[in-house]
Amino acid sequence: MTVAPESPRHLYIFGAGGQGREAAWFARAAWGVELSLTFVVDEARYLPAGGGVSAVVLDDLRPRDGDRWVTAVGSVPARRRAQAALAATGMAAAQVVHPSVDLSALAHLGDDVIVAAGAVLSVGVVVEDHVHVNVGSTVSHDCVLREYATLSPGVHVAGWVEVGEEAFLGTGASVINGSPDRRLVLGARSVVAAGACVLADVAADAMYAGVPAQRRR
Ligand SMILES: CC(C)(COP(=O)(O)OP(=O)(O)OC[C@H]1O[C@@H](n2cnc3c(N)ncnc32)[C@H](O)[C@@H]1OP(=O)(O)O)[C@@H](O)C(=O)NCCC(=O)NCCS
């Protein structure tokens, strides 16, 4: 998928917290304020308090043809569980992309992705399924964001970088270039702390912080 997708008949957003409400903003900016949407939570205690918000517990969800879903919570295990349950309903996933996103026609977006306001995705960027790109993040040419990767607000990833599955980059982190013959790789489930500057590969399951980024655990 290289362009903003067509509007769903109804959008189900898993998560009713900050990320869910932001996803609703991006979706309505993309598809119009009249877009009908419902927040989905996995337990009744997470239903938003107060009226005026349409919300449902996952087990009670009864989608119709043309409805779509997206997951908008930070926890990857919760995203995985919700994604499996939502896909099992037969609904297709959505791609929620704020209209201010500068999305190259030569970038590829998977399903159940959220690309927030002000992000830039350059040529040759591959965004796999279930990835979140938060506000103002930029991803330069030929990068790959593997499934369930998260870029927090204001992350900058230079060209030829692979962000591993479930990797998390904290707010304002930067990653320098890899090269065409060898991408700089952030390993699966790695964590890059807010404000870090990554100059070399990051090991899987490790946490790096600082400028330049050093392994902290
Ligand atoms: C990386 C992060 C996840 C680590 O959190 P944590 O596991 O609770 O780690 P701790 O706070 O115990 O810190 C461990 C060490 O790393 C250091 N550290 C943590 N974050 C750091 C940062 N951003 N820059 C430099 N050092 C940092 C701590 O000072 C601590 O050092 P010490 O062992 O010498 O005392 C967290 O600090 C962070 O940066 N989160 C980003 C949050 C964010 O951007 N959220 C946006 C959501 S959309």
pLDDT in tens, 135-187: 999 999 999 999 999 999 999 999 999 999 999 999 999 999 999 999 999 99
pLDDT (tens digit per residue) in 25-52? 999 999 999 899 999 999 999 998 876 7
Mutate to test the pocket of ligand 1, among 207, 208, 215 (most ligand atoms within 8 A of CB): 207
One-letter amino acid identity for 175? V
CB within 6 Å of ligand 1 — which residues? 134, 152, 170-171, 191, 193-195, 207, 209-210, 216
Phi-psi region of 205 (alpha: psi -120 to 50; beta: other; left: phi over 0): left
For the CA of 150, the closest atom of ligand 1 is 48
**Residue to substitute in 21, 216, 217 for testing ligand 1 pocket (most ligand atoms within 8 angstroms of CB):** 216
CA-CA distance, 22 to 153, in Å (whole number)?
12
Which residue segments constitute the domains of the chain, with CATH numbers given? 10-93 (3.40.50.20), 100-217 (2.160.10.10)
With b meaning 16 or more CB within 10 Å and e meaning fewer, what string describes 99-114? ebbebeeebebbbbbb
Nearest CA owner, ligand 1 atom 46: 152
Nearest protein CA to atom 37 of ligand 1, as residue: 193
Q: Mean pLDDT in the chain?
A: 95
Query: CA torsion, points 147, 87, 57, 64, in degrees to nearest 10?
Result: 140
